[in-house]
Every structure is written in C-alpha cells, then in structure tokens.
Amino acid sequence: MISRSAIGRNAQLALKRQCCVQPATRRGLAAAVSGGSTQFSYETAEAGGIKIASRDIAGPTTKLALVAKAGTRYESAPGLTIGLEHFAFKNTHKRSGLRITRESELLGSQLVAYHTREALVLEANFLRNDLPYFAELLAEVAFETRYTAHEYAEEVHDTIHMQQKRLLGNVSELALNSAHGVAFHRGLGAPLQPTSSTPLDKYLNEDTIQDFSKNAYSKSNFALVANGANHAEVSKWAAEFFSGASSTGSALSSEESKYFGGEERISHDSGNSLVIAFPGSSSFTSGSSYKPEMAVLAALLGGQSTIKWSSGFSLLAKATSAFSGVSANATHFSYSDAGLLTIQFNGSAEAIRGASTAAVAALKSIAEGSISKEDFTKAVALAKYRTLEEGQNTEAGLVATGSGIVHTGKAFQIDEVGKAVEGVSADKLKTAAKALLEGKATVSAVGDLFVLPWAEELGLKI
Amino acid sequence: MSQPSFAAFIAGKPWLSKPMYKIASWYCQAAGYRQLGLRADDLIPEESETVLLALKRLDQKESYDRVYRLRRAFQMSLSHKLLPKEQWTKPEQDYAYLSPIIKQIEAEAKEKADLETLVPNRK
C-alpha cells in the first residue's frame, strides 16, 4: 500500500514541474517572431519585374526600403535628388501627407527618406505584421505623389534652403564634397548636398521634380530591399503593389566614373578641414573592379580609435599624436564603379599642417613596405570586422544591397566580402600604396588657407 | 467663407435648376461687380488665414490678374464710373479661381482636426 503522504509529495513535485518547466519552443515574443534565420545573406529575386532582395533576420520588426538609382550622381540638374527626397511621404492622389504621417504613427512605425551619392532611399521601419500596409505605402509614394506647387513653395523649398545654409557652416562636409568634385568632376563629383551658392531655383520646381521622379521610379531603376521579412511574402506584396511601375521611363544613367585628381582650396572662417584622397576600389557588388586591399589600407591608416579614451595605435593615430587639437581619419568610400580613399583632418590649421605631413610620411612608409607584420594583421582583422559589421548593420547593408542589385544584380553578401578582405596579402597592400603615391592625388583644403598646406608642400603629385 | 448654400441641392434637380439658372445669371449681372470688371471670387473677404493662404497658393498669372482687376475696380468705384461695356466681365470669364483652393485648405484643416482628435481603437 502506498502511503498517502508519498502520493501527495509526488503529486506536488509533478505539479511543480509542470508549471515551472516550460517547453523549449515557448518564447516571449512568440506572436511577433517568425521562423527567421540568423543568416546574413540576402535572397534575391524578381517579382513582377521588380528586383527584390530580402533576408529574414529573426525579430519582431521589419525594415523595408525602396532603393532607387537616383542619387546625386544621376540627377540631371542640381538639387533634383534632394527635391525628390523631400517630396517623399507628401500628398498623394489617394491620401494626404498628414494622413500618411498619422497612420504610420498609429501603426507604430518610422518613415525615412535619405540619399547617398548613388541611391535615393525611401525606408519604412515597422512591426512585422504590417508589411502589406507599408509595401502599399511605398508604392503609393513612388508612383502617386502629387508634387503640388504649394507643397513645394511652403515646405520643400524652405527646408532645402535651410539645409544649404547648414552645409555652408560645416567645413568637413564641404571638404569631402570638394574632394569628390576634384576627383570625379561630374557624376560622383556632384555635391551630396548643394551649398547655398548653388543656383537651385533655376533648376528646381515641382514640375522638374515630377519629371525626375518618373525616371527615378521606373521599373528598371529601383529595387526593394527587406530586412526581417519572409522572402515569399515580400515577393507577393511587391508583385501586387509595384507591378504598376512604369516601364516607359528611361532608367537614369551617368557616364562611367573617371578619376582626375587635383587640388582645390576654399577659404572659410569657421573651422579647418583638409582632405587628402586617392582613387579607391569600387564596392563589392561591382564584381571585378573590387579591390579589398583598399579597405585594408583604410583600416591600416585608421585614425579613429576603436578603444575609448585612447587615440588608438593605428598609423595615423601614431603619426598625428604629436599634434594636439587635430583629428585624422581614413575612410574608404566605395561606389558602383569607383571609389575614393580619403584621409581627412579636422582641427586647428597649424595642427593640420603638421599632422598631414606626418600622415603622408606614414603612407610612404607603407609603400616602402616597412610596416610590421603585427600592424598588417591588425588592419586585416579590423577591415574584416568593419565590413562584416556594416553588412550586419541593417541600414548600411540595405543601401549597399539595394544599389548593388540595381546596378549589377548582385547583392551585398557579407560572408564573401569577409573572405575577400581576409585574402589580402602584405605585398598586395604595398603595391596598392605605391600605386596611390605614384598616381595623382586629390587635395582639398577648407579653412585658413594661409596656414593649410598645398599638395606640393606635402610631397604629393597632383 | 463657407456660407450655407442650396447650390448642390438645386443642381441635382433639372426641373428646378433650369429656371434658377436664369434667375442666377440675371442676379449676377445685376449685382454690379461684372460692370467693374471683377469676378465673383474677387469679392471673397481676404481677412482670414484661410483666404490669405489660398491667395499665396494662386499661380503667378492668376495672382497678378487679380490685383489688376481689383485696382481697376477701385479706380472705377472712386471715379463713380463703370467700365466700357466691352470690358465687362463676361459670364464665361466669371469662373471660380479661388474658391476651389479655399475648399481644399478647409478640407485639409478639417482632416487635421479629425486626425488630431482621433481615438485609436485597436483590436
């Protein structure tokens, strides 16, 4: 006979187990999370003539973006890209801009429009379940915006002019724009944001923006990129809402980028900035002209510290540590068919003068092959980390993928990029650095020109 | 700006609109503004935010023409004269150029008020 107390105890234990041990499949966000994978590679497809790339990262939110090949490089007159960017999410034929804002607020989402030199991006961040609503919204914004005269006069025009004025006070942006202009002249050389001395009113009004939009949002000119959404679902809704895209509008195009190089000096009263730039590598998505050693070179030069409260141990940081009040930073900008490796100095004019000379000396030492093996390994690791992190970071990966599939049909696959960067050898790096110093450099100085050095004083060929 | 109007009601009934149309045309001619070269929409009082905004949204040509008509009418009124008959506003010239914009602005304001007092009711 079993004693009562024993049954009681067992029963208690069993009960305890039942309520405490939860099935492994149970999770807090079960309703919102789909069976998303943790893979960071994009699936690409074409639905209803629209290029689509998506990856199903697990999580309750989705980021859907329309990436159009309509950045400043492709604008047929100055300011059109920025005008089109500002007309995003304004009145459409179906509903007013205010209604779009309020509805997206109610659904708990965020709508953003921005542009890079090559792409114009309309982006929506929202909860996973709301995908159909936002797919429809992006299609509506792209194809059915009304481009009314009064919105242009009351909202778009003034905001653009304020942006122009803001840029005029920002020396580092001015210097980067100037370096791009000197390096590529037209196309990629067009400024990312127009300065206030650009005669925009001559080119920009609601009609020219509308004409530009017809080409920018024509079928072959944009791609849809989704993060955190089921591929089948994205294809389905894209085919439904975006198949109405006009195939008549001609896709925007620009001449193939050619590197020129040279020097530009702009005097400015509020700060100093110097940009030394060299031809870089095009982005990974462009295929054969992709040179991973440029990314490694940028990481080797470095500049910005990866450790808090320390200037870091990169070559630029070491070279410029003797000069206080200056920050040096090497960045590699890559585009679909060209790239620009820039070293930017911000700070006081005297410090920039000294630091830039030291930086050029550091670059020369790389070209002579006098870098330590340890530095090289660190640089490769950092470059790999940066590219992978950029790919994982949904925002950057989104634009890279979008422009990639619009330009060449290739998505930004971070695992392949990582491998390419890993494969860079010290010899390759040395040859690349040597080629840079032998070719023409680009030097842009903005600020106190009495002190800021000329390219010739730095020992660079232009 | 939006005064009560039977216009929509009458326009829906042909038996009513035909005689009313005649009366209306006679009334507009008799009101006297056409003899000063004005249009009906020139008579809308300007002293409201809505109308001021609508005037800003007029395109340049319309806006210039409006100022010209008003100044001419003032001049005529001061000198106690009417325009020569060939310069009177013809019925086909007397179209609504401003009131559609005013209606649009009012609709926007209404939509804004509606959306701002909205109570979300999510299932």
The whole-number pLDDT of residue A21 equals 43
Confidence band (pLDDT; 50, 70, 90) for A287? low
Which residues in chain B have Cβ-Cβ distances shorter than 8 Å to A150? 56-57
Confidence band (pLDDT; 50, 70, 90) for A288? low
Residue of A93, A150, A151, A158 to mutate, testing the B interface (most B Cβ within 10 Å of its Cβ): A150
Average pLDDT of the segment spanning A287-310: 80
Say if residue B84's pLDDT is above 90.
yes
The whole-number pLDDT of residue A29 equals 41
Tell me the average pLDDT of chain A. Answer: 84
Shortest distance between the Cα of B52 and any Cα of chain A, in A, equals 13
Which residues in chain A have Cβ-Cβ distances shorter than 8 Å to B120? 106
pLDDT above 90: percentage of residues in chain A: 44
CB proximity under 8 Å: B 57-76 to A: 57, 59
Pair type for strands A43-47 and A50-55: antiparallel
Closest by CA position to A74, among listed A294, A241, A259, A250? A250
Q: What is the pLDDT of residues A348-364, one digit of tens each?
A: 999 999 999 999 998 88
pLDDT above 70: percentage of residues in chain A: 90
Shortest distance between the Cα of A24 and any Cα of chain B, in A, equals 29
**Which chain A residue is nearest to residue B56, measuring alpha carbons?**
A150
Q: Is residue B37 included in any domain, yes or no?
A: yes
**Which chain A residue is nearest to residue B54, measuring alpha carbons?**
A150
Write the Ramachandran bin of A120: left for phi over 0, alpha for psi from -120 to 50, otherwise beta.
beta
Are A153 and B111 a contacting pair at CB < 8 A? no
Strand order in the sheet with A61-68: A43-47, A50-55, A222-227, A61-68, A120-127, A110-115
Q: Is residue B12 included in any domain, yes or no?
A: yes
Q: Is residue B35 included in any domain, yes or no?
A: yes
Q: Which of A92-106, A388-402, B48-62 has the lowest mean pLDDT?
A: A388-402
Confidence band (pLDDT; 50, 70, 90) for B101? very high
Shortest distance between the Cα of B106 and any Cα of chain A, in A, equals 13
Count residue pairs from A and B with Cβ separation < 8 A: 19
**Which chain A residue is nearest to residue B101, measuring alpha carbons?**
A150
* Residue whose token pair is 């009417």: B82
Shortest distance between the Cα of A150 and any Cα of chain B, in A, equals 6
Are B112 and A153 a contacting pair at CB < 8 A? no
Does B111 reach chain A within 8 Å, measured CB to CB? Answer: yes
Q: Is residue B89 included in any domain, yes or no?
A: yes
CA distance A411 to A394: 13
Kindly report the length of chain A: 462
Are A98 and B111 a contacting pair at CB < 8 A? yes
Shortest distance between the Cα of A147 and any Cα of chain B, in A, equals 14
Q: Is residue B31 included in any domain, yes or no?
A: yes
| Angstrom distances, CA of residue A60 to CA of A29, A64, A102, A294, B80 | 8, 13, 22, 37, 75
Q: What is the pLDDT of residues A245-255, one digit of tens each?
A: 877 767 788 88
The whole-number pLDDT of residue A31 equals 37
Does A153 reach chain B within 8 Å, measured CB to CB? Answer: yes
**Which chain A residue is nearest to residue B112, measuring alpha carbons?**
A98
**Which chain A residue is nearest to residue B121, measuring alpha carbons?**
A106
Does A129 reach chain B within 8 Å, measured CB to CB? Answer: no
The whole-number pLDDT of residue B1 equals 57
Shortest distance between the Cα of A141 and any Cα of chain B, in A, equals 19
> Could you tell me the two tokens for A130?
């709301």
Which residue of B115, B120, B122 is in closest CB contact with A99?
B115
Does B108 reach chain A within 8 Å, measured CB to CB? Answer: yes
Which residues in chain A have Cβ-Cβ distances shorter than 8 Å to B59? 149
CA distance A94 to A321: 59
Burial of B26 (0-12, 13-18, 19+ CB in 10 A): exposed
| Exposure b/e, A393-432, CB count within 10 A at least 16 = b | ebbebbbbbbbbbbbeebbbbbeebbebbeebebeebbeb
Q: Is residue B122 included in any domain, yes or no?
A: no
Say if residue A20's pLDDT is above 60.
no
CA distance A177 to A197: 14
Q: Which phi and psi (to 5°) does residue A19 adopt? A: -85, -20
> Could you tell me the two tokens for A264?
């530009």
Instruction: Give the pTM.
Output: 0.83
CA distance A189 to A455: 20
Domain that includes residue B107, residue range = 7-116
Contacts of A58 (CB under 8 A, 6+ apart): A33, A34, A35, A36, A37, A38, A228
Q: Is residue B81 included in any domain, yes or no?
A: yes
Q: What is the pLDDT of residues A211-236, one digit of tens each?
A: 999 999 998 889 999 988 889 999 99
Which residue of A106, A150, A154 is in closest CB contact with B120?
A106
Q: Which phi and psi (to 5°) does residue A12 adopt? A: -60, -45
| Angstrom distances, CA of residue A431 to CA of A303, A321, A377, B95 | 22, 27, 17, 76
Shortest distance between the Cα of A105 and any Cα of chain B, in A, equals 11
Are B56 and A153 a contacting pair at CB < 8 A? yes
Are A98 and B57 a contacting pair at CB < 8 A? no
Residue of B115, B118, B121, B123 to mutate, testing the A interface (most A Cβ within 10 Å of its Cβ): B115
Q: Which phi and psi (to 5°) does residue A453 adopt? A: -75, 155
* Residue whose token pair is 């009458």: B10
Residue B108: which CATH number? 1.10.1090.10
Shortest distance between the Cα of B57 and any Cα of chain A, in A, equals 6
* Residue whose token pair is 């920009």: A204
3 state SS for chain A: CCCHHHHHHHHHHHHHHHHHCCCCCCCCCCCCCCCCECCCCCEEEEECCEEEEEECECCCEEEEEEEECCCHHHCCCCCHHHHHHHCCCCCECCCCHHHHHHHHHHCCCEEEEEECCCCEEEEEEEEHHHHHHHHHHHHHHHHHECCCHHHHHHHHHHHHHHHHHHHHCCHHHHHHHHHHHHHHCCHHHCCCCCCCCCCCCCCCCHHHHHHHHHHHCCHHHEEEEEECCCHHHHHHHHHHHHCCCCCCCCCCCCCCCCCCCEEEEEECCCCEEEEEEEECCCCHHHCCCCCHHHHHHHHHHCCCCCCCCCCCCCHHHHHHCCCCCEEEEEEEEECCCCEEEEEEEEECHHHHHHHHHHHHHHHHHHHCCCCCHHHHHHHHHHHHHHHHHHHHCHHHHHHHHHHHHHHCCCCCCHHHHHHHHHCCCHHHHHHHHHHHHHCCCEEEEEECCCCCCCHHHHCCCC
Q: Which of A151-155, A303-307, A425-429, A434-438 has the lowest mean pLDDT?
A: A303-307
Which residues in chain A have Cβ-Cβ distances shorter than 8 Å to B112? 98
Does B120 reach chain A within 8 Å, measured CB to CB? Answer: yes
Are B120 and A153 a contacting pair at CB < 8 A? no
CB proximity under 8 Å: A 222-281 to B: none
Query: Dihedral through CA A202, CA A206, CA A211, CA A213, nearest 10?
Result: 120
Say if residue A38's pLDDT is above 60.
no
Q: Specify the number of domains making up chain B.
A: 1
Query: In angstroms, what is the C-alpha Rg of chain B?
Result: 19
**Which chain B residue is nearest to residue A152, measuring alpha carbons?**
B57
Which residues in chain A have Cβ-Cβ distances shorter than 8 Å to B56? 150, 153-154
Q: Is residue B123 included in any domain, yes or no?
A: no
**Which chain A residue is nearest to residue B59, measuring alpha carbons?**
A149
Residues forming beta bridges with residue A264, ordered by sequence position: A444
Residues B62, B93, B82, B28: is their CA dihedral positive or negative?
negative
